[in-house]
Each structure stands twice: as C-alpha cells, then as structure tokens.
Structure 1
Amino acid sequence: MTLGLALLAGCASQSPAPESPREKGDWADQKPRLEALDSWRLAGKLGLRTPNDAQSANLDWTQRAGRYRMLISGPFGAGRSVLEGGPDGVVLTTGEGRYAADTPEQLMEQQLGWSLPISALDNWVRGLPSPIVEYQLTRDALNFPQRLRQAGWVIDYRDWTQADDLWLPRRMVMSFADWRATLVVNEWQPGAAEPGDG
C-alpha cells in the first residue's frame, strides 16, 4: 500500500488563498505556460481510500525536465519512502529495501499486483490531460478544467490556487472503480529545485 500511495502522490495541490479570484480568460492565457512547465516542487497531503482501507501520507514532489523525486512520509509504511524516476527507469526506496523497474507502472505491478497511470500524473497535477491517451474534459463556468476522464480514471478538480502568476490545482479527487485518491497541495513552487536537492 505504501507504494500505491507513493506513486499516486504525484498529483496534489493547496496553498495560501490568492489575492484575486480566477477570471474567465485566465485558463486560456496560462495554458501554454502550463504545457511548457516541466520543473516544480509541491508539498501536500495524499489520502487513498480503497474498499478495505483508508490511509494518508505527506508528499514532497520535485520535478525537473522529465525526472522526478517523490518523498512520501506519514502514518502508513515505514515512515519514509522515496520514488525517483526518469527516462532511464524508476527506483523505489523504502524501509524494506530498494526496488527498480523500467516504468512506474511496471514497478507497481511487481510490488502490488496492480498499476496506476503514473506516467499521466505530471500532466494531471497541472490540470492537463496526458497527450498519449484519449480523454474527455468538462470545464467550469470560468473555462477551467472541472472533470477529466482518462485511462479509466475520473479526475475532479475541486479547488485552485495561484503561484507565480499561474493557477494550479489546489485539491484533486481521482477515482477509478472503487479506488479514490484525494490530493491537497499546501505549497506550489513552479520552477523549483532539481530532484534530489531537497
């Protein structure tokens, strides 16, 4: 279960309340910048509810140009797990050992027997669909993403926050069958440090 939360963690969002509210043209103005954004740090909380269990963890996720490092800590697991990945593969380090695979999906299959579309999470956390899978998108009254359906998942964008003149998801709820993951980001830092710097 620790790995599942660790890998899901790649999608969160919450921060201090912005000084000005979202406006109708904000999404169109910022979308090209979001699509180009490949570096950030976010910190928050992730909750995972399954038919048999409910757990939560703290998440610290650093991303830079296709490489990521997710530090997951909290009540579940051995207190601290680190997921690091990039084009050359993925490594998960826990209190029980170190595990490697070519993709995060393979790593989840190996360790848990089921998989999540981890490769899409860096897009979802920015409010964007993954470019490699068909999707359906519903927008709110201000033209921001409200509900994204992709790869069998339903991603509901419940709240937004402003960081560096970008509106980013503050709260996301992701569902697949009877799985439900809630991601709340307490801090967004677009363009932050390299993975491993923290």
Structure 2
Amino acid sequence: MKSIQRLGAAALLSLLLAACVPKAVVRTPGDAGMLNEQQTREQALAGTDHWTLEGRIAVSDSKTSGSGDITWVQDGQHYVFTIRGPFGKSFRLTGSPDEALLEGMDGGPINGPDAEALLRRALGWEVPLRELRAWVLGLRADGGPAELSFGQDRLPSLLQQDGWNVDYREWDTTRQPALPKKVFADKAPFKVKLSIESWQLAPR
C-alpha cells in the first residue's frame, strides 16, 4: 500500500513539475502567406487613431522599476496616459507630436516639446512612445526597417525594430483584426511590459 502511495505521490509531483515548466516559444520567420496576412492586418488598422486601452504597465532598467494601472486614450495625434501606481500615486501625460505635459510630480507639472525626453528626465523611464503607438496595435512603426517572426497562431510573435525587441505574448483573437493583449518590449537595459485588459476602438 505504501509503495502505491509513493508511486502516486511521485506521479503527482512529476505532473506538478511539468506544469511549472514554461512552454517553449515556437517562432518562424513566416512564409509569404503569413506576411500577406500581416500586411492585410496593417492595412485594416492603419487609420486606427481613436481608441482607449486599459491594463497594467511596468517599466524597468537595470537599477529601478515602476508599475501601475494604465489608461491610454489616443485621439488622433493627441494622447492621454494616466498611470495609477501604488499608494494612490498617479501620473498623467498628455501631449501631441510637438508638446507634452506631465502631471503628478512632487515639484508640480512639467512640460516640454518631447514626451519621451520628459519621461526620461522626470522618471528615468525609457519608453519609445512614437513607435509604441504602432507596436501596441501589432503594427510595424513607420520610419525604420523591421523584422517579424510569427507564432503558431500565424500572428506576430516577435517584432524587432529601432533596436527594440517587441514580444507579443498573447493576442485577442475574438477581434478581427486580432489585437495584442500582452506586449513586452526591451532594449537593454530598458524593459516595458504592457498587459492590456480591454480595448475600445472608435468606429471608423
């Protein structure tokens, strides 16, 4: 009886250990069909510039990190990021291609012509806002070469552009075209992790 119990415990332990092992990510450069499907997605979403997403964001480098809930409202060229961190602390970044305002700092609001430089100076965060606007939709950003790898679902799994690796961990395939749910971008030593809980796209 004890031998059977030991065998049962060993089998259960093996199953638990197997469950803890992360699945290997299978990626392929993609064939002509996958690339054509991606081009169709990009054409369908190219004019999508009015939307709201909500979720979680985490930003880190080799020394510091920060995270919180995020609401991102994109209204044409104008955007509003609201990040609510622990202890009720929140930041609000509003702007357009030529100006940005960061609110929620201890010393009061600060502004400048470059939102990325503003975040870098105020918080030490390196966030590629210009490219992220395209990447968060699963699109290649304009202005630079990009390399794509695809997953078994025939959707982008890894996008490499402007020195960043954009890892698509999960997609919402209930939407057509599909939209990302988890976007992890890194450019050593910087990392940006975005987990999207909801998308709201304005009708076109």
Q: Report the TM-score when normalising by structure 2.
A: 0.72
Larger proportion of helix: 2
Aligned twin of 1:19:
none
Cα distance in 2 for residues equivalent to 1:110 and 1:45: 22
Task: Give the alignment partner of residue 80 of structure 1, picking from 78, 87, 90.
Answer: 90
**Cα distance, 1:140 vs structure 2:** 2.3
* Rg larger in structure: 2
Aligned twin of 2:111:
100
- Percent of pairs with identical residues: 27
Structure 1 segment 45-194 matched on structure 2, within 5 A: 45-75=56-86, 79-96=89-106, 97-112=108-123, 115-162=126-173, 165-191=176-202
Alignment gaps of 5+ in structure 2: 1-33
Cα distance in 1 for residues equivalent to 2:63 and 2:71: 26
Cα distance in 1 for residues equivalent to 2:160 and 2:98: 29
Which one scores higher on RCO, CA 8 angstroms, separation ≥ 6?
A: 1
Deviation per CA, 1:83-122, whole angstroms, max 9, x where unpaired? 0011341111114211111121231343256743221111
Alignment gaps of 5+ in structure 1: 1-22, 193-198
User: What number of residue pairs does the alignment pair up?
Assistant: 169
Counterpart amino acid of residue 44 in structure 2:
R
Aligned twin of 1:36:
47
Deviation per CA, 1:124-179, whole angstroms, max 9, x where unpaired? 10011210122222122343211111121111001001465331100011111132
Task: Evaluate the alpha carbon distance shift between residue 125 and residue 93 of structure 1 in structure 2; reply closer, same or farther with a 3 A threshold.
Answer: same
Q: CA RMSD in A?
A: 2.5
